[in-house]
Amino acid sequence: MKIRIALAFVLLPIAALAQTPAPAAADGSWTFVVAGDSRNCGDVVMPAIAEAAKNSNAKFYWHLGDYRAIYTFDEDMVQANVMAGTPLNIQNYLNGAFKDAIDNQLKAFDDRGVPVFAGIGNHETIWPMSRARFVKTFSAYLDIAAIRDQRLKDDPSDTTIRTYYHVITNGIDFITLDNGSCDMFDDAQMAWLRKVLARDAADASIRTVVLGAHAALPDSRSCGHSMGNYPNQQKTGREVYNLMLAMRDKSKKQVYVLASHSHFVMDNVYDSDYWRKNGGVLPGWIVGTSGAVRYRLPETATPGPNVRTDVYGYLLGTVSANGAITFAFHELTTKDIPADVVKKYSKNFVENVCFAANRDIRPQQGTCPPMSQCTAGE
């Protein structure tokens, strides 16, 4: 469904992000938080993730894309306007959707002194939104000091703000990629990534590489909703996977691959028949649990402690002194939603719309479906 209505860009006076480093533990370990897919009820759930990130002394929060639905109204925006007595229409929804995500989701982290690494999802490219509009509106997050400094360190003449970037901290390279539309990864992004990984492979101070993108790379245990859906995404996604395999096997770095896109949590994502037979299994997670309508688990998946749906929460990464990362999923309940958020949206909305409902009961494929041709807006 594509909404055909012309819109002007929305310019936002966003305050600079706090850059105070989070303290490391006595054993040298430190933490960061990851989640994606905060549409639908993200304005309710994300402040709770921000509070948890603060309480965990997280160095940063990494959002893997999809902030607003765009193809339809987000329930939390509808409710906020109902409570305020100003019902939404299509025009003011689309004009305000990105700004709403910043004001009611990302600023919760700003207020708590937790920097945000913002990724792009496929819903950010649904017409009339676009990659260019996302960059313009979210530029204060895509160009925070850590991202800008790393970009200029790589190339002092590079002043372009992009939806893909990387940040090296404590010997770990965190790489954010853009597969928010079916033409990605494009040639420019692939050339950039090859350079980044080549530098990492040659740099003895880099012990670990963590790659994050919206959709999971192809041939995962959730292949039905991943980069396995389009020919170019399958080709480039497999190349990226093999680059990460080489980083682990030839360069002897520790590697991890994170995604969201599917609205559940799943560990060991790449422990699939395909990758067991074609190079090996990389450690990976899907964590699309920050407010979006909850999907069913793939029909091929066996539920377990880290394979769950109908939950909201976040992935807490704990980095040890040697660069190894342990991930743990933390579920959020209605008791974790801040009191001011409950007051804004109402207890009934939080408990009965966001937590009890907000689920999609359609079956999800685990195996890759026949691929579709890439068309504009996908």
* Tokens 């068309």, residue located: 375
pLDDT digit string (tens) for 40-99? 999 999 999 999 999 999 999 999 999 999 999 999 999 999 999 998 999 999 999 999
- Residue 9 above 70 pLDDT? no
Sequence spans of domains, the chain: 30-355
Distance of CA 18 to the CA centre of its chain: 20
Amino acid identity of residue 144, one-letter, is: I
Q: What is the C-alpha to C-alpha distance for residues 196 and 5, in angstroms, rounded to an integer?
A: 39
Q: Between helices 231-249 and 187-202, what is the axis angle to 10°?
A: 0
Q: What is the C-alpha to C-alpha distance for residues 374 and 50, in angstroms, rounded to an integer?
A: 36
pLDDT grade for 13, boundaries at 50, 70 and 90: very low
- Residue 376 above 60 pLDDT? no
Reference 34, options 265, 222, 196, 209; nearest CA is 265
What is the bridge-based pairing of β-strands 208-212 and 254-259? parallel
- Residue 12 above 80 pLDDT? no
Q: Give the pTM.
A: 0.92
State the alpha helices, DSSP H only, in 256-357: 273-277, 339-345, 347-348
30-355 is classed in which CATH architecture? 4-Layer Sandwich (3.60)
pLDDT at 5: 33
Residues in the chain: 378
Region 163-192: mean pLDDT is 97
Reference 138, options 163, 112, 167; nearest CA is 163
Of residues 100 and 19, more confidence is placed in 100
Strand order in the sheet with 116-118: 116-118, 58-63, 30-35, 312-319, 325-332
- Mean pLDDT over each residue of the chain, to the nearest integer: 92
Q: Are 105 and 74 in contact (CB under 8 A)?
A: no
What is the rounded end-to-end Cα distance, in angstroms, of the chain?
11
Q: How is residue 224 written in tokens?
A: 């039905």
Q: Are 96 and 74 in contact (CB under 8 A)?
A: no
- Residue 375 above 70 pLDDT? yes
Q: How is residue 336 written in tokens?
A: 């974790």
Angle 210-98-14 (CA atoms, 0-180°, nearest 5)?
A: 80
* Tokens 């009961």, residue located: 361
- Residue 14 above 70 pLDDT? no
What are the strands, taking DSSP E only, across the chain?
30-35, 58-63, 116-118, 165-169, 172-176, 208-212, 254-259, 265-267, 284-287, 307-308, 312-319, 325-332
- Residue 218 above 60 pLDDT? yes
Largest CA distance in the chain: 60
Reference 79, options 285, 347, 369; nearest CA is 347
pLDDT at 302: 92
